[in-house]
Chains A and B, each alone.
Chain A
C-alpha cells in the first residue's frame, strides 16, 4: 500500500472498527508483551523448575537398553487419589515408614487471587547415569543389563546409605526388615518378570497419568509421547547429569 495514497484518506476513527479487528490487534499485542513477560516469569520461578523446562531430551542413541523401560508422567491428569501408592505398597510389600512412589503437592499463583494445585508423582528415575550405582561400595545396587532398571541385591547392602545421599530424587529408603536400602524397580521382580506388562502403579492409576513402556520402540506410547511435536517434556533435576528415564509433560485438556 502506497503511503502517499493512505495520507489522502480521511481518518475513520476507532468508533466503527469491527470487533474482530480489535481482537486480532489485542491478541498480537498480548502475544508480543507476553513473549517478553515470559522471560520475566521464567526468571521468577525457582532454578529447579526453570532448568527442568529447558532440560535436554535424550537422543535415540541415549536409549542403550532393550527394552529401555521408561515412565511418562502426564502430570496435569493427576488428581492425587493415591491408588498408585496403595498398589505399590501392596505389590512390593513396602513398610508403613517407607515409600517407593509418592505424590507431591504444591500450589502456584495463576492470578492475583487465583491459585492452582499441582500434583507431581515421583519415584525412582532409573537414571542412565545413576549416582546411587556409582557410589555403592559393594555393587548392591546396579543397572539391570537388559532393561536398565536400577535394582537392588539386598544381601550385599551394608547400609552405609551413600546411595540415599547421592540420589537426586529421594527415591531410596532404608528397610529395617531386610536391613537394606529399598527402592522402586518398576516392579521388575514382582510383575514384569511374571508376564505383566506394566508396574502396579501404572495399572492402578484411574486417570492414565503414568504411561509405561519401551523408549526404544518407536511404536510404543512412551516413545510417541516423548517425541510428540510441540510438546514440552521435562525431567527433574537435569543439572545433576543423572539422565533420568522418568519424563514429565502436561496434556492439553479439552475443557
Chain B
C-alpha cells in the first residue's frame, strides 16, 4: 500500500526529549567544528595541520573513511539479506539499518572529502577523465552509486513502496559489496607495500563489513530504545540476538583472517612485511594491536557474547561497541602499518619505523564524521522513527 510521504506518518516527536536535544546539539557541534577545521585545512594547507608526510601520505582520515565505509557496507548487506533471504530474525532491525548505512557512508564521505587535497577537481575529472584500472576510481564511483541506491531505497521505505525498495536494496547491496572489495583492493594491489599486498585483504574487508554492520545494528537499535526509555519488543530483541550471532561468527572469521595474515609475514616474502608485523607483535604498535584491535575488538566481545549467552541486551550492546572501537583502531593500524617501514630502510640512518601520530586537527575532523552519524541517528529517530520501530517486516 503506497502512500505519499508525510512526516506526520513517520515522525515520533516524543523522541525529541531533552536528552536527545542536548545530544543532538553536542553531535551537531562536533560536526560543525570538524567541518570548520577541514575547510580551514584547504586554505591553510593540509601539510600544516595534518601529520601526514611524503613517506606516510595516508593516516587517520583515510582509516576513518574506511571504517565508516566498511560499516555502511555491512549494514546495507545485512539489511538486504534479511529482506531477500528471509528465514532470519533480522527483519525488525532492517529499516533502521538502511538509515544507519546511509548516514555512515555520508560520514565517510565527509571525512575523506576533507582529506583529499582538491575534491572539486575530483567532481570534474572523475567524470571526464576516468581511469578504469584505478581502485580509487571504482571505489569512489561504486560508493557514490551505492549512496544513490540507498537514498532511493530509504525514500521508498518511507513512502511504503516496499517491493521497489527491496529491488533498490539489492542494487545498493551489490554496489556496496563491489565498492567494499575495491576499497580492499586499493591496499591489496600495492606491491610497493608488502604489509598490504596480497589477495586476502579484500575478503578480510568484506568480513569486517559484516562484523561492523552487525555490531552497528545491535548498538544503534539499543540506543534507539534507550532514548525512547522503553523496553525492547520481543521480536526486536530476537533480531538483536540474531545480529549478535552474526557478530560472533564474523569476529571468529576475522580473527582467523588476522592470524594467517600476520603469520604469513614470518614464513617468507619481502622483509618489510615482517618488519611491519614486528611492530604490532612486539614493537611500538603492540598496545594498539594486542590491547585494542585484538583485546577490546575481538577477544572481549567474544567472551561477553558467549558468557552471557546473548540474553543480556546491555552485554550485547557493550560487545558491539567494543568491536566497533576495535574495528576503528584496526583500520588505523592497517593504514599506518603499510607505510611506516621506510622504503629505503638502511640508508640515511632512517628509523625502523617512521613516526606517524595523528594530529589533534585530524581527530577533530574525525569527530565531524562521528558527529554527523550521531546527529543524523538521533534526528532520524525523531523524524522517521515510526518506520524503524514498526515490527511488520516488509
Q: Which residues of A contact B (CB under 8 A)?
A: 46-48, 97-98, 104-106, 120, 122, 131, 134-140, 155-162, 164-170, 172-174, 176, 179-180, 237, 239-242
Contacts and interface: CB of A to CB of B under 8 A. Distances in A.
Contacts of B348: 104-106
B58 to A, nearest CB: 6
Nearest to A119: B347
Contacts of B345: 46, 48
Contacts of B347: 104-106, 120
A46 B271 contact: yes
A168 B118 contact: no
A131 B196 CA distance: 14
A122 B118 CA distance: 29
Interface string B322-345: 000000000000000011000111
B47 A174 contact: yes
A140 B343 CA distance: 24
A134 B270 contact: no
A205 to B, nearest CB: 19
B320 to A, nearest CB: 32
A138 B345 CA distance: 31
Contacts of A170: 54-55, 343-344
A176 B55 CA distance: 16
B343 A164 contact: no
A7 to B, nearest CB: 54
B133 interface: yes
B131 A169 contact: no
| Majority DSSP secondary structure for residues of B touching A | loop
Select the residue from B57, B58, B140, B271 with max chain A CB neighbours within 10 A: B57
B390 interface: no
Nearest to A49: B346
B171 interface: no
Nearest to A45: B346
Interface stretch (B25-33, B121-129, B231-239): B121-129
13 contacts: A46-B271, A48-B270, A134-B131, A134-B134, A135-B134, A135-B186, A136-B131, A137-B140, A140-B129, A160-B122, A167-B192, A170-B343, A240-B191
Given A134-B134, A179-B117, A240-B192, A158 B344 contact: no
A165 B339 contact: yes
Given A137-B122, A157-B118, 5 more contacts: A47-B270, A48-B271, A138-B122, A168-B191, A239-B191
Given A138-B137, A239-B270, A159 B117 contact: yes
B249 interface: no
A138 B270 contact: no
B130 to A, nearest CB: 7
B135 interface: yes
A70 B341 CA distance: 28
Contacts of B270: 47-48, 239
Contacts, number: 133
Nearest to A120: B347
A136 B57 contact: no
B7 interface: no
Nearest to B335: A165
Given A155-B121, A169-B343, A170-B54, A138 B191 contact: no
A137 B54 contact: no
A165 B356 CA distance: 15
A115 to B, nearest CB: 14
A173 B346 contact: no
The 8 closest A-B CB pairs, nearest first, are: A159-B117, A168-B192, A137-B137, A138-B125, A104-B347, A161-B57, A158-B122, A240-B191
Contacts of B57: 161, 164-165, 174
B339 A137 contact: no
A160 B58 CA distance: 9
B54 A173 contact: yes
A105 B349 CA distance: 8
Contacts of A159: 116-118, 121
Given A104-B348, A135-B135, A160-B116, A165 B343 contact: no
Contacts of A161: 52, 57-58, 117
Nearest to A135: B134
A136 B134 contact: yes
A174 B131 contact: no
A193 B152 CA distance: 52
A82 to B, nearest CB: 13
Given A159-B117, A170-B55, A137 B192 contact: no
A176 B47 contact: yes
Contact of B121 (A106, A158, A164, A239): A158
B134 A165 contact: no
Nearest to B133: A134
Given A47-B270, A138-B122, A158-B119, A237 B192 contact: yes
